[in-house]
Structure 1
């Protein structure tokens, strides 16, 4: 452990921030450890928000990642409901609640915040889904509404639409791209996702932009599309992606272009590190800088960043993993699927809706996806980890 590090401040009390704090203790750090969070809630898990919490099968308390006693055992000082507002890298301080908190090492894990639609601010019936409070409010509004429009057919929007249909709520899913999850999964799998939703009663309006919202007396009444039509809605969920929470770092001198820029060891500057959704780092195996917004990465990168805080310099080069549960279907993937220029089914078939597919670029297997095929997918993971040549596994 680096002798000079006696005070560590972790900003961001989500999965990445908490994991970093736990990892520091597990790796032998015995100095002062402070966890700062903007929300008043103790750190909790987010993936169930669009599924179990929205469905009402889990109470929000079930999301908590650690018991209160465990924080005391680990000697983690929590400052919740008090967001950091600035960082002075020269003086090594973080501004919290109008006071400067000194640190020897700062670990940034502030995550992301949802994008919004123009004109949505302050309009009744318009929701985002990022926090547990968002999920509770949206569930109540969706159940009371006769018609819900979900704007954005990425992972969050598609999962929320599936959950709402399970509750019997009428749902229209809107996206400017030609199909749900097409950017993330490619056209072949996107078509299967589209079929899955239409078979469960979701009205899909893809390939059309959103021009704005209609309203009456301060409440949303519909979504105006780029083709001039209006989709009536009593409740709208905006799920059009997120942006990194870095505003509080303005003027710090850090690279803040699409998150906090880091080297391969999650180091953003001397004594400053980042992990989770907010971190953009150099992935040595890919040879490029990336940012990953997936739950598994939040945990794995937080552990890597904690080791870097304590003097480690091992590059963080994971094979990313993500999953999505929609209706009775589990979609799982390893690696990088977006940007692939080739696609092949390795086992099973698209028609049977049980398969493993390969994604490739520059004659390398860059990603593998399993549709209701967890065992086969796990075996295929090695193709990504080993950077297997496409031509070695897919006949010409």
Structure 2
């Protein structure tokens, strides 16, 4: 039986896409989209790149205000869900009109993630880069020459560092792991980006955790003092699962779902960065921090709700990171312990016990698109086919 009322918690790209896809799939019932931030839903990836340079917030908006009226989507910004009552199938929300309950026939959790706060003394002094408001604050701070310490050598920290350095600021990157982007890319690609950042003038402090943040800078585990005027914290994220946990839903590095993205309650789905789901390739439970995954999840959930489509999630993941003039693209998903092999200059294959799991490319969009088609192939991939990616 098709639900008549769908309530979506989270108005990021995944949550908004769920609302859009429901209408595109012919769903004629009530859709309520709840967002914790004020204003219209917007893109997050440009916050660490283009927005810091141009400050054009209007370019980030995913849909104009008129869209929600036209599609009969009840969008409620600046509103927070306090609790989920699974028995009554309703949620308690607080917003500008106070606290009240909203019913649902099906609930979609698109609650995303929040920045990880490591146990570092004085970490409250550090800046975040997660929301548009965060980015606006950072852009103001970048208006004058300054010294910046970035805690975290993942995508966000490195993208910010590249922009800040290009604007003329002094940047020190602090990464507790022995190499950059260790969770996401091969050792060879990591080494290449370390060389790039050093060539741009960024100072790297690898294999040393930050243990204290003070107004004057950051102290590392070995006692090194890094002087800075402000500190950006980009040490990873954690999924927002508190609502799900309080409601008694199964959680495992995110809100646990099956292959159809249904939680342990068949009236509740989860998508995007907050969802833990079976990897279509390995069957292992994984969680992806990716706009592509969130929007693909949303489309699948919408088809299931609107049309009764019970197909499992099978989309191939892909990722990207723009750092300075360089574009890193990844087709597929590799665990940090995956073996690596250079296929051609700027093209690296990642392998596990089942074979090829991911392909990394640098400044080569054509090779990346070929890699995505190859990764999606259900048959074993030959060495010759791998080499053809670079042709």
Asked if TM exceeds 0.5, the reply is yes
Shift of 1:328: 1.1
Distance in 2, Cα, partners of 1:131 & 1:376: 32
Distance in 1, Cα, partners of 2:348 & 2:232: 31
Determine the structure 2 residue equivalent to 1:352: none
Determine the structure 1 residue equivalent to 2:16: 18
* Farther off after superposition, 238-247 or 376-385: 376-385
Tell me the alpha carbon deviations over residues 303-329 of structure 1, each in whole angstroms, 9 at most, x when there is no partner: 112122232211002210111111111
Q: Among 75, 80, 99, which residue is 1:78 paired with?
A: 75
Determine the structure 2 residue equivalent to 1:289: 285
Shift of 1:388: 5.3
Shift of 1:58: 4.1
Determine the structure 1 residue equivalent to 2:188: 188
Question: How many corresponding residue pairs?
Answer: 379
Q: CA RMSD in A?
A: 1.7
What secondary structure is seen at the aligned counterpart in 2 of 1:72? helix
What secondary structure is seen at the aligned counterpart in 2 of 1:162? helix
1:1-396 equivalences under 5 Å are: 2-3=1-2, 5-55=3-53, 57-97=54-94, 98-117=99-118, 118-120=120-122, 122-123=124-125, 126-144=126-144, 146-214=146-214, 220-268=215-263, 269-310=265-306, 311-347=308-344, 349=345, 355-386=346-377, 389=380
Distance in 2, Cα, partners of 1:101 & 1:266: 23
What secondary structure is seen at the aligned counterpart in 1 of 2:216? strand
With normalisation by structure 1, the TM-score equals 0.92
What secondary structure is seen at the aligned counterpart in 2 of 1:177? coil
| Contact 1:340/1:359 (<8 A) preserved | no
Shift of 1:255: 1.1
Shift of 1:345: 2.1
Tell me the alpha carbon deviations over residues 233-263 of structure 1, each in whole angstroms, 9 at most, x when there is no partner: 1110000111111223332110123211100
| Contact 1:145/1:234 (<8 A) preserved | no
Distance in 1, Cα, partners of 2:246 & 2:256: 14
Tell me the alpha carbon deviations over residues 153-200 of structure 1, each in whole angstroms, 9 at most, x when there is no partner: 000001000010111111000001112112211211100000000000
With normalisation by structure 2, the TM-score equals 0.93
Shift of 1:363: 4.5
| Contact 2:185/2:336 (<8 A) preserved | no
Tell me the alpha carbon deviations over residues 349-375 of structure 1, each in whole angstroms, 9 at most, x when there is no partner: 2xxxxx221111015100011111111
* Farther off after superposition, 138-147 or 316-325: 138-147
What secondary structure is seen at the aligned counterpart in 2 of 1:10? strand
Distance in 1, Cα, partners of 2:211 & 2:280: 41
Tell me the alpha carbon deviations over residues 124-168 of structure 1, each in whole angstroms, 9 at most, x when there is no partner: xx2010000000101212334621000000000010000101111
| Contact 2:216/2:228 (<8 A) preserved | yes
| Distance change in 2, residues 1:121/1:38 (3 Å) | farther
Distance in 2, Cα, partners of 1:12 & 1:63: 17
What secondary structure is seen at the aligned counterpart in 2 of 1:38? coil
What secondary structure is seen at the aligned counterpart in 1 of 2:211? strand
| Contact 2:123/2:213 (<8 A) preserved | no
| Contact 2:123/2:212 (<8 A) preserved | no
What secondary structure is seen at the aligned counterpart in 2 of 1:168? coil
Distance in 2, Cα, partners of 1:116 & 1:251: 21
* Farther off after superposition, 386-395 or 368-377: 386-395
